Amino acid sequence: MTVTAPVSGLLPALRRSAPVQALASWKGGVAGTFLILVVLGALFAPWLTPYGFDVQNLPGAFQAPNLSHPMGTDEFGRDVLTRILYGARTSLSVSAVAIAISLFCGMVLGASAGYFGGRFDRAVMVVVDLTWAFPEILVALMLVAIIGPGTTGTLVAICVAYLAQFTRLTRAQVMALKSETFVEAARGMGASNAAILFRHLLPNCLGPVLVAGMLATGDAIILEATLGFFGLGAQPPTPSWGGMMSSGSGLLFKGPWIIMFPGLCIALTVVAINMFGDALLHKLDVRERVRTA
């Protein structure tokens, strides 16, 4: 005989309907469609554009947006749209993978801290609070400085920068759920700590934490771009959105389109992620819990 968590748990609800319902609302629909298009564009970049992302064409440099180059060309005559499509591969995958790792570590850390409490909890929270007080960009800058510029450095930096947030959120959720009757019941039935934690507690706080992860992916894209902008992200010739703006920032007068379009892409993607995340939160009815954490 097993005791299961209440069916009103957030994961089943999420799996069953929330993303679908979020897509059905007009905000979520617009945002979701845009995100799908960006991902498809990144995936199928080689087939979508006749140009290579790294083929220089110096005579054709600094072309303003025109029919054959809808977003213009950069200082080496490379097509900006092509570089944005390829750049999406780097920027999106680095941010998403980093957040996924960070989310996993944060959940394990936060759940165990919240569940076991005591000295372990206090130790974890001291470290978490310390990093949380520091702005993500500073934490990331430090780590990139240690590991060295590039994709790996950015990945680790984003991971660590958001770890505190996920740990805090999971911990708060687990602490709230810990004293619920169904957990007491499971314990009464002789379930082990691990079983209670992974079978009963984590599934029930997955919803808000996953949505927080999604929203953080938006922030991570900005962080990745900011590191790229400082020249610390993915190194040339690999295109990334932040990197494109870094090289373009000196050319603000000669070719504003070189930085405006990648920036617009970042902005729209982040806004879309937030809009979709918000629609999800609305459907899950946990907005205040995540937004103010």
Partner 1 sequence: MLGFAIRRILMLVPVFLAVSVIIFLMIHMLPGDPIDNLLRIGAGPDQRAALTEKYGLDRPLYEQYLYWIGNVVQGDFGNAIVQRRPVASLIGQALPYSLTLGGLALLVSTVLGITVGIIAASFKGSWLDQGLMGGVLFGSMLPNFWIGLLLILVFSVSLGWTPVSGARGWESLILPVVTIGLGGTALVARVTRVAMIDAQGRDFVMLLHAKGVHPVVIQLRHVLRHALIPVVTILALRIGWILGGAVTVEVVFARPGLGSLLIKSLNQHDYPVVQASLLILAMAVLLGTLLGDLLQAAMDPRIRDNLK
> Which member of 44, 237, 267, 285 binds partner 1 (CB under 8 A)?
267
Contact flag: residue 136 with partner 1 (CB under 8 A): yes
Number of residues that bind partner 1 (CB under 8 A): 36
Q: Which is nearer to partner 1, 105 or 268 (CB)?
A: 268
Binding to partner 1 in span 38-77, by CB under 8 A: none
Residue 98 sits in the site that holds partner 1 (CB under 8 A): no
CB of 66 to partner 1, least distance (A): 20
Closer of 9 and 228 to partner 1 (Cβ): 228
Is 88 in contact with 149 (CB distance < 8 Å)? no
- By CB under 8 A, name the one of 202, 245, 281, 290 that touches partner 1: 245
Confirm or reject binding of residue 133 to partner 1 (CB under 8 A). yes
Among 270, 280, 284, 286, binds partner 1 (CB under 8 A): 270
Task: Kindly tell me which residue out of 145, 181, 192, 285 binds partner 1, with binding defined by CB under 8 A.
Answer: 145
d(CA 172, CA 111): 9
Which of 111, 177, 225, 244: binder of partner 1 (CB under 8 A)? 225
Strand partners, 79: 73
Calpha distance 255→178 (Å, rounded): 57
Binding mask 147-186 for partner 1 (x = CB under 8 A): -x--------------------------------------
276 binds partner 1 (CB under 8 A): no
- Residues forming contacts to partner 1 in the complex (CB under 8 A) are 130, 132-138, 141-142, 145-146, 148, 218, 222, 225-226, 229-230, 245, 249, 252-253, 256, 259-260, 263, 266-267, 270-271, 274, 278, 288, 291-292
